[in-house]
Homo-oligomer: A and B are copies of this chain.
């Protein structure tokens, strides 16, 4: 058992199932708290409403104290390294640190040198394990299985943390992953080209249509599209949604560019699980934090060792 959570790839299939199981228990009302007062800090070196707030809610629901950390007013401005910032927080008594950072694998300089569990809230274009886990939870909630599902991931696979982590995990869990989107965006990519399919075909085949955000900020150099062009060529238009299989669902990591990746009117349609994904994000993060805290507390994860207090009278 690893106290850190850095990448989805490092999680074994049984780890994933354990986390999803705990997350579902939290969704169903389980209350679980650390045995003593604990402090968490969320170090976000990139903007994010969703992930940061979601971790914050998860931490508070677990009864953690959350220490505010604003990059813009921290000693990072005086050139302090990430390592020294983390060691500082560790020294003042922070027990868990969530980090989002623009540098790929920023955590390589930390692991082995710091004691505090590091939860990766996203690194560069690399990994975003809690986003992957919330996607997996949403799919499992819907279908009760991964085996035999066909998942179409559509968009900027090359630059997407989500796509990389998800494709790997879903494949290991027994699902089939196919890709679509602008072919230009795939060229210098290591992904199996045989999985690439035209967008209309992908949408017709899929049990889950997983749309990726167009990251305008990353496409200054390479082939780019107007919003309208992208929407008509690769977006989930009102017409394409009608081609989807019965029972299939729509996912998107958000924030959504309305009428680009997906038609405005579909964002909250019956097939959409976009806001459900956000809900599940809190439960997944509670499960991930619990996993690290249990190791800090020295217990093992045996079902009998943790307290499942009575459901709150909500």
Write the residues of chain A forming the contact surface with B, with a CB cutoff of 8 angstroms. Answer: 35-37, 39, 41, 44, 47-50, 52-54, 56-57, 60-61, 65, 67-81, 84-85, 87-94, 217, 254-258, 275-276, 278-279, 281-282, 312-314
Contact = CB atoms under 8 A, between A and B. Distances in A.
Contacts of A255: 75, 78-80, 84, 88
Contacts of A68: 56, 68
A59 to B, nearest CB: 10
**Assembly of this chain: how many copies?**
3
Contact of A275 (B35, B67, B91, B254): B91
A81 to B, nearest CB: 8
Contacts of A39: 57, 60
Contacts of A91: 275-276, 278-279
Nearest to A45: B73
A53 B89 contact: yes
Contacts of A279: 91-93
A73 B313 CA distance: 35
B53 A69 contact: yes
A277 to B, nearest CB: 8
A68 B71 CA distance: 14
B275 A87 contact: yes
25 contacts: A35-B313, A36-B312, A36-B313, A39-B57, A39-B60, A41-B53, A47-B75, A47-B77, A47-B78, A49-B74, A49-B88, A49-B89, A52-B73, A53-B88, A57-B65, A57-B92, A60-B65, A60-B67, A61-B93, A72-B72, A78-B217, A87-B275, A91-B276, A91-B279, A92-B282
